[in-house]
Amino acid sequence: MRTLSTVLLAAAASFALTGCGKDEGTVTDGAASGADTTVTVTSTDDACTLSATSATPGSVAFTVTNEGGQVTEFYLYRGEDIVGEVEDIGPGLTRTLTVDDLAAGTYTSACKPGMSGDGIRADFTVG
Amino acid sequence: MFVSNALVGLREGLEAALVVVILLAFLTKTQRTWGIRWVWAGVGTAVALSVALGALLTYGTRQLSFEAQEVVGGTASIVAVAFVTVMVFWMKSAARSISGELKGKLDRALDLGPLAVALVGFLGVGREGLETAIFFYATAQAAGSGNNLPLLGWAVGIVGAVVLGWLMYKGALKINLAKFFRWTGIALVVVAAGILAYGIHDLQEARVLPGLNTLAFDVSHIIDPGSWYAALLKGILNFTPQTTVLQAVAWVAYVGVVMTLFLRPAPPTVAAPAERPDAAHETATA
C-alpha cells in the first residue's frame, strides 16, 4: 500500500510539474484573467466572428463561445503550425485559449464547427 | 445542445473505460480477485487527480499550456500502451497456465503485481481524465450562467459510457474460458493500437513529433466527426476520420507485431517448478 501511494504521488507530482508550464498557448476556461488582449470569438455552424482581428504583441486570450448546434474547435495557426487550439467546445459552452508571448506577425484564426475541414479561417495580425 | 455534449461525454467516457473493463473482466475470469480493488484504487486516484487539476486550471491562476496539455495526454497514452502490451502477454501466459492447470501444472512465470494492476487502471483513466474534467467544468460554468443543457448532456454521455462498459464487462464474462483470452487479447491489441495512435497525434499537435499535416487518409466527408457513430469509433477504437501517416504506420506496426506474437502458438509447456506461494501476497507485503 505504501509503495503504491508513493508511486501514485510521484505520478501526481509529475503531472502537476508538467502542467504548470510557462510557455505559450494556454488553454483555460472561464474568465480570461491577466491577458494583455482579450478577443471574443463567436462560433456558429457557419460563421466565426472575432471581436478584433489584430492585437499587440504579448498575451492574447481568445474567449470562444459556441452558439452553433455542432461541437466546434478554435485554432490559431502560424503557417502550418498550430500555435494554440481549444477542442471540444460543445454547443452552449465558452472556453478560452490564452496564448502567451505572441510575437508580431501574421497568424490565421479558425473555427471548426463539426470538427472537420479547414475551418472558417481569417487573418489575425499581431504588431 | 444536449446531444452534442452527450456525445463528447460518451466518447471520452469510453476512451477511459475500455482498458479498465477488459482488465476487470480478466481479473474476475481468472479468479485474481485480489486485483480488483487495486484497479479501482488506480482509477479512483486518476479521477481525483483529474478533478483537482481541472479545478485548479479552471478557477485558479495557474494555466496549462496547450503544448503541455498535449504532451501530458500523449505521453500518458504511450506509457499506457506499454503497460497494456504487458497485459496482453500476461493474458497469453494466463491462458497457458490455465491449460497447464488442467494437466496438473502451475505456471505463474508472468504475473503482474498489485502495483502494475493499479497503474494500468490509473493510466487508462488518467490519460483522458484531465481533458474530461476541464470539459466538465466548462459545462458547469454554462450551468452557472443558467444553461443546464450542456451539463445534463455531458452527464448522460458519461453514464452511457459506464453502462456500455458494464455491458461489455458482463458480455466478456459470458465468453467461455477457452475463447476468453483469445478474444479479449485481440480486443486489447486493437484498443492499445488506437491509444498509441491517439498519443502520437497529441505529440504531433505539440510539435514534439513531426507530420501533423501529412495525412494518410481523410474520410471526414464520409464519417461526420460530430455523429454518434464517429463518437463510438473514436471512443472504442480511437479511430479519427483524419489520420496522419505517422499514426497509421504506428497503428499497423503495433497490430502487426503484437497481434502476431499474441496469436503465435505457444511452445510446448516446460514442466513448471513446484507450486509457489500466491504471487499476490508476495508483492503486497514487499
Structural domains counted in chain B: 1
pLDDT band for A106, please (50, 70, 90 cuts): very high
CA B189 and chain centroid, separation = 11
Measured CA to CA, the distance from residue A96 to residue A26 in angstroms comes to 8
Mean pLDDT over the full length of chain B:
87
Q: B145-157 burial, b if ≥16 CB within 10 A, otherwise e?
A: eebebbbbbbebb
Residues 6+ apart with CB under 8 A from A105: A78, A125, A126, A127
The mean pLDDT value for A70-99 works out to 93
Residue B284 lies in a domain: no
Between B109 and B38, the more confident residue is B38
Q: Smallest Cβ distance to A18: which of B72, B122, B241?
A: B72
Domain span at residue A88 reads 23-126
Helix (H) or strand (E) holding A30: none
Q: Any CB–CB contact under 8 A between A79 and chain B?
A: no
Residue A69 belongs to a domain with what CATH number? 2.60.40.420
Residue A12's pLDDT is what? 47
**Chain B neighbors of A1, CB-CB under 8 A:** 284
- Let me know: does A73 contact A111? Beta carbons within 8 Å: yes
DSSP label of A97: E
Q: Smallest Cβ distance to B147: which of A3, A30, A92?
A: A92
Residue A77 lies in a domain: yes
Residue B100's pLDDT is what? 61
Domain span at residue B24 reads 2-268
Residue B1's pLDDT is what? 87
In A, residues 28-47, which contact B (CB 8 Å cutoff)?
28-30, 33-34
Residue A34 lies in a domain: yes
**Chain A neighbors of B7, CB-CB under 8 A:** 71
The mean pLDDT value for A29-48 works out to 81
Chain B nearest C-alpha distance from A107 (Å): 17
Residue B265's pLDDT is what? 80
Nearest to B197 by CA among B241, B243, B230, B129: B243
- Judge: A93–B119 Cβ closer than 8 Å, yes or no: no
- Judge: B64–A25 Cβ closer than 8 Å, yes or no: no
Judged on CB neighbours under 10 Å (0-12, 13-18, 19+), B89 is middle
Q: Smallest Cβ distance to A91: which of B1, B212, B241?
A: B1
Q: How far is CA B192 from CA A103, B10, B22, B99, B133, in A?
A: 39, 19, 12, 26, 23
The mean pLDDT value for A41-64 works out to 95
Q: What pairs with residue A38 in β-bridges? A: A61
Chain B nearest C-alpha distance from A48 (Å): 18
Measured CA to CA, the distance from residue A14 to residue B261 in angstroms comes to 33
Chain A nearest C-alpha distance from B182 (Å): 30
Q: Residue A24: closest CA among chain B residues belongs to which residue?
A: B65
Q: A78: how many CB neighbours lie within 10 A of its CB?
A: 16
Between A77 and B111, the more confident residue is A77
Residue B267's pLDDT is what? 61
**A-to-B residue pairs, Cβ atoms closer than 8 angstroms:** 149
Strands B215-218 and A72-78: unpaired
Between A42 and B27, the more confident residue is A42
Q: Any CB–CB contact under 8 A between A2 and chain B?
A: no
Q: Determine which of A27, A81, A111 to mutate to test the interface with B (most B C-beta atoms within 10 Å).
A: A27
- Judge: B68–A21 Cβ closer than 8 Å, yes or no: yes
Residue A30's pLDDT is what? 44
Residue B104's pLDDT is what? 41
Measured CA to CA, the distance from residue A71 to residue A53 in angstroms comes to 23
Residue B99's pLDDT is what? 65
Residue A4 lies in a domain: no
The pLDDT tens digits for A73-82 are 999 999 988 8
Structural domains counted in chain A: 1
Residue B286's pLDDT is what? 37
Q: For B146, how many CA atoms within 13 A lie in the half-sphere containing its CB? A: 0
- C-alpha cell at position B229: 457513430
Residue B58's pLDDT is what? 86
The answer on pLDDT for B48 being more than 50 is yes
The answer on pLDDT for A11 being more than 80 is no
Residue A25's pLDDT is what? 52
Longest dimension (CA), chain A: 56
The answer on pLDDT for A26 being more than 80 is no
- Judge: B131–A88 Cβ closer than 8 Å, yes or no: yes
**Chain B neighbors of A8, CB-CB under 8 A:** 42, 45, 118, 122
SS3 A104: coil
**Chain B neighbors of A20, CB-CB under 8 A:** 62, 64
Residue B222 lies in a domain: yes
The answer on pLDDT for A33 being more than 60 is no
- Judge: B41–A91 Cβ closer than 8 Å, yes or no: no
Chain A nearest C-alpha distance from B278 (Å): 17
pLDDT band for A15, please (50, 70, 90 cuts): very low
Nearest to B279 by CA among B115, B83, B102: B115
Torsion of CA B270, B273, B275, B279, to 10 degrees: -90
Residue B59's pLDDT is what? 86
The answer on pLDDT for B277 being more than 60 is no
- Judge: B139–A90 Cβ closer than 8 Å, yes or no: yes
Low-confidence winner among A26-30, A114-118, B60-64, B191-195 (lowest mean pLDDT): A26-30
Mean pLDDT over the full length of chain A:
81
pLDDT band for B275, please (50, 70, 90 cuts): very low
Query: How many residues belong to chain B?
Result: 286
* CA distance between the termini of chain A: 56
Residue B242's pLDDT is what? 92
Residue A1 lies in a domain: no
Between B118 and B109, the more confident residue is B118
| Whether ipTM exceeds 0.85 | no
